[in-house]
């Protein structure tokens, strides 16, 4: 990786934003034809966006200051609207010249926004004052609000690659308005595109064996993402996610099903594929470091370097090292009768490596086993220990989850897998959160590389779990990220 020179970075940045709101003609085609006008707003008081690969539906909240100006793109005008448009107003420029303007703007009110409207939020910085001036409502010269040529120039300058890429800004949120305040200042609450999946009911299905693409793939049997504006990410479609036996009812929604899959260690979240919103799926990487893990679920974007002396606004991370005597692996699997198997693996402190391992003095303890029914006991199933229901105060332990991808499995095989994971688990890690300036545009499930020349103990590659993005007049543009999963330490090629 090339050396990063902070002295060559811009000395100042100007906050810029663009919020687009519109109503689609067909609810089943959220990215299709538009009904009415596209409203574009370039001033905002506060934005907060939350996303995590562990949650299907991400959220956003937007607060506009009083007197917010909306720039509308008129696709077609009635005769009356055309008459109003021809009305001329004047502006006095800085040089004293009177300029004619035909405006297509209005002041935002609570009636401007409706539940169910589509919304996109672009956030970023610019170092060019001319770009920032284009969107200022107080500018007495030509702006995007009073001059069409300036408006088109503003949009063209922001376009880079792809339909949703901007030169200075990135698309940080794409979804629906779900709540609107009843008074000013105007506040909107939004959910991402997966919110629409809460309105789609599942078919009545009972299958002994199936895969994810049977339900979500465009060539699958059920095509649950059809007419939702979402696709199954091609990286996910090319993998085999075995679900085992599945039974669905019409009382469930597609969102219910995707959320339920997280219990199997398969996390569903919204990502991007060449400008097309997509459902991406990855297994918890610590339970399956294979091709279908979160680490390998997608090849883009690449690893993002974070330089502590430039990108970090607040370091809330602490380096920790724990004792494996107080590590607990909570393992979960699915048996041949489609029921969950649970067992917790602990290190046996009474184990003496100098003596032969025996049943009463084994290397590991098995606690909190799933209780077997009388029918299961008659069928020959047995507990791993003589005291399967030992009560242990788990508050004293560092608890980590493990989900077996083998379907079906047995309690013996599940314990064997969990022990292997226990033995390979790295107890040295970091806790807390890292607050960054907004120029990196980090997203959930992305890999980042921490680079701290002063305190290199935490340097390495990490998987981002939660991202909270804030943007506003008070604290500027910030991203708070959590990094609970270390993938690789600096100078070590082994995955942790």
Are 383 and 311 within one domain? no
Query: What's residue 473's pLDDT?
Result: 87
Percent of the chain with pLDDT over 90: 31
> Domain holding 456: CATH number?
2.30.300.10
Are 43 and 177 within one domain? yes
* 482 belongs to a structural domain: yes
* 39 belongs to a structural domain: yes
Question: Per residue in 447-483, pLDDT tens?
Answer: 999 999 998 888 999 999 999 999 998 899 999 999 9
Q: Is the pLDDT of residue 86 over 50?
A: no
> pLDDT class for 49, splitting at 50, 70, 90?
very high
* Average pLDDT score over residue span 194-200: 95
Q: Where among 378, 403, 423 does a domain terminate? A: 423
* 162 belongs to a structural domain: yes
Range of the domain at 227: 200-283
HEC string for the chain: CCCCCHHHCCCCCEEEEEEEEEEECCCCCCCCCEEEEEEEECCCCEEEEEEECCCCCCEEEEECCCCCEEEEECCCCCHHHHHHHCCCEEEECCCCCEEEECCCEEECCCCCCCCCCEEEEEEEEECCHHHHHHCCCCCCCCCCCCCHHHHHHHHHHHECCCCCEECCEEEEEEEEEEEECCCCCCEEEEEEHHHHHHHCECCCEEEEEEEHHHHHCCCCCCCCCCCCCCEECHHHHCCCCEEEEEEECCCCEHHHHHHHHHHHCEEEEEEEECCEEEEEEEECCCCCCCCCECCCCCCCCCCEEEECCCCEEEEEEEEEECCHHHEEEEEEEECCCCCEEEEEEEECCCCCCCCCCECCECCEEEECCCCCCHHHHHCCCCCCCCCCCCCCCHHHCEEEEEECCCCCCCHHHHHHHHHHHHHHCCCEEEEEEEEEEHHHCCCCCCEEEEECCCCHHHCEEEECCEEEEEEECCCEEEEEEECCEEEEECCCCCCC
* 294 belongs to a structural domain: no
Query: What's residue 390's pLDDT?
Result: 62
Are 187 and 65 within one domain? yes
Are 186 and 211 within one domain? no
> pLDDT class for 266, splitting at 50, 70, 90?
confident
> pLDDT class for 401, splitting at 50, 70, 90?
confident
Query: What's residue 372's pLDDT?
Result: 58
Are 311 and 443 within one domain? yes
Are 153 and 265 within one domain? no
* 292 belongs to a structural domain: no
Query: What's residue 50's pLDDT?
Result: 98
Are 233 and 160 within one domain? no
Q: Is the pLDDT of residue 421 over 50?
A: yes
Are 186 and 210 within one domain? no
Are 47 and 149 within one domain? yes
Are 338 and 467 within one domain? no
Question: Per residue in 278-319, pLDDT tens?
Answer: 999 988 765 556 777 888 776 666 899 999 999 999 999 887
Are 479 and 411 within one domain? no
> pLDDT class for 258, splitting at 50, 70, 90?
very high
If one compares 9 and 232, the residue with the highest pLDDT of the two is: 232
Query: What's residue 384's pLDDT?
Result: 56
* Average pLDDT score over residue span 415-440: 85
Are 452 and 412 within one domain? no
* 297 belongs to a structural domain: no
């Amino acid at each position: 990786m090339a050396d990063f020179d902070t002295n060559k970075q811009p000395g100042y940045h100007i906050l810029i934003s663009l919020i687009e709101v519109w109503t689609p003609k067909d609810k089943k085609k959220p990215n299709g034809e538009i009904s009415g006008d596209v409203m574009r707003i370039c001033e905002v008081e506060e934005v907060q966006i939350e996303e995590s690969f562990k949650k299907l539906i991400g959220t956003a909240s937007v607060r506009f200051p009083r007197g917010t100006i909306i720039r509308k793109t008129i696709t077609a005008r009635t005769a009356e609207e055309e008459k109003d448009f021809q009305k001329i107003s004047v502006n006095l420029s800085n040089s004293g010249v009177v300029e004619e303007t035909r405006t297509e703007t209005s002041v935002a009110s609570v009636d401007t926004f409706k539940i169910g409207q589509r919304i996109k939020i672009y956030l970023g910085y610019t170092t060019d004052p001319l770009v920032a001036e284009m969107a200022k409502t107080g500018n007495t010269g030509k702006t995007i609000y009073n001059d069409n040529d300036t408006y088109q120039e503003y949009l063209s300058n922001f376009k880079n690659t792809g339909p949703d890429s901007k030169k200075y800004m990135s698309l940080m949120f794409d979804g629906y308005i779900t709540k609107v305040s009843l008074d000013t200042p105007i506040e909107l609450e939004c959910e991402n595109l997966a919110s629409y999946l809460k309105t789609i009911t599942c078919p009545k299905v009972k299958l002994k064996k199936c895969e994810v693409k049977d339900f979500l793939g465009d060539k699958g049997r059920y095509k649950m993402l059809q007419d939702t504006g979402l696709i199954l990410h091609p990286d996910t479609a090319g993998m085999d996610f075995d679900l085992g036996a599945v039974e669905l009812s019409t009382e469930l929604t597609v969102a219910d099903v995707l959320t339920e899959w997280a219990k199997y260690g398969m996390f569903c979240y919204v990502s991007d594929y060449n400008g097309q919103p997509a459902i991406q799926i990855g297994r918890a990487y610590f339970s399956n470091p294979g091709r279908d893990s979160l680490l390998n679920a997608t090849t883009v974007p690449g690893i993002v370097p974070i330089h502590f002396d430039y990108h970090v606004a607040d370091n809330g991370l602490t380096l920790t090292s724990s004792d494996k005597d107080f590590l607990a692996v909570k393992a979960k699997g699915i048996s041949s009768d489609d029921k969950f198997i649970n067992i917790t693996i602990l290190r046996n402190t009474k184990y003496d490596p100098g003596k032969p391992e025996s049943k009463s003095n084994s290397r590991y303890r098995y606690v909190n086993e799933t209780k077997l029914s009388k029918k299961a006991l008659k069928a020959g199933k047995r507990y791993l220990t003589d005291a399967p229901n030992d009560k242990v105060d788990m508050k004293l332990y560092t608890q980590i989850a493990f989900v077996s991808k083998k379907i079906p499995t047995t309690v013996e095989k599940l314990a064997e897998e969990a022990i292997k994971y226990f033995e390979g688990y790295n107890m040295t890690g970091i806790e807390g959160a890292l607050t960054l300036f907004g120029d990196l545009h980090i997203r959930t499930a992305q890999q980042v590389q921490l680079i701290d020349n002063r305190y290199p103990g935490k340097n390495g590659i990490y998987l981002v779990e939660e991202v909270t993005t804030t943007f506003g007049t008070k604290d500027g543009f910030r991203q708070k990220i959590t990094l609970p999963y270390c993938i690789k330490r600096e100078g070590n090629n082994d995955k942790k």
